[in-house]
Amino acid sequence: MPPSPNAHGRTRIRREEVGATRRERKQRTREALIDAALRLLEQESFSSLSLREVAREAGIVPTGFYRHFENMQELGLALVDRSFRSLREMLRDARATADGDQRMIRRSIAVLVADVHEHRTHFRFIARERSGGVASVRQAIRSQIRLLGSELATDLARLPVLASWSTDDLQMLAALLVGVGVSAADALVDVAPGDEETEQEIASAAERQLRLITLGVPAWRSDQGGA
């Protein structure tokens, strides 16, 4: 624990603070709580994060927390929501604007890398809690990722190469592709902030992995099982 608990740039909210309507100020405190949590999550995991800690970092008194969230778990769900909001749209856009599977792959990876870059804290949270401690948070994250997969499967179904594929096989493929993305994001989150080279390597590896997979697609026959 750092010696000075309120040391670095937390968002102090005070009654005296200038601010417009009451709703706006409440909203702002809510944001401050979310941001405070994300900031603290760079150092520790969600399940070991305490209500008091978050409140302190946000600059309000512990009991004030309850005006915004019933408990920490609810804060967790808000964090999941916040973290996934933009990514899903951006990915869908990326697939819509660029068709042709190779271009789609490059675009999607680029979007992912850029988003991880810009919202590192969100992705660190997601990566850490995807299999992590608090059950409801974990489930929320997984359901978001599953959604990502379904959306991808729907788009894939429109590609000529995949026209003859069964829904089951499409889901399998989509899950595989999403898995590669998740692994890449996982790896990116742990790259030192300045290290663009490693970042580039991870992106390139993910791209090549996706490309390898697409190479298998034309040869796929659902029923071929044995050696």
Partner DNA sequence: GGTTTCAGTGTACATGTGTACTCCAAGATA
Partner DNA sequence: TATCTTGGAGTACACATGTACACTGAAACC
Of 62 and 216, nearer to DNA (C-beta) is: 62
**Which listed option, DNA, a second copy, none, makes contact with residue 183 (CB within 5 to 8 Å by class)?**
a second copy
The site for a second copy, by CB under 8 A, has a size of: 40
Stretch near a second copy under the rule CB under 8 A, chosen from 21-29, 80-88, 153-161, 167-175 = 167-175
Cβ 191 vs Cβ 202: under 8 Å: yes
Nearest approach in angstroms of CB 4 to DNA is 11
**Which listed option, a second copy, DNA, none, makes contact with residue 52 (CB within 5 to 8 Å by class)?**
DNA
**Which listed option, DNA, a second copy, none, makes contact with residue 108 (CB within 5 to 8 Å by class)?**
none
**Interaction of residue 62 with DNA, rule CB under 7 A:** yes
**Which listed option, a second copy, DNA, none, makes contact with residue 103 (CB within 5 to 8 Å by class)?**
a second copy
Among 10, 26, 106, 119, binds DNA (CB under 7 A): 26
Residues 68-97 that bind a second copy (CB under 8 A): none
Nearest approach in angstroms of CB 13 to a second copy is 28
Instruction: Retrieve residue 28's tokens.
Output: 């702002």
- Positions that interact with DNA (CB under 7 A): 1, 13-16, 21-23, 25-26, 28-29, 50-53, 59-65, 67-68, 71-72
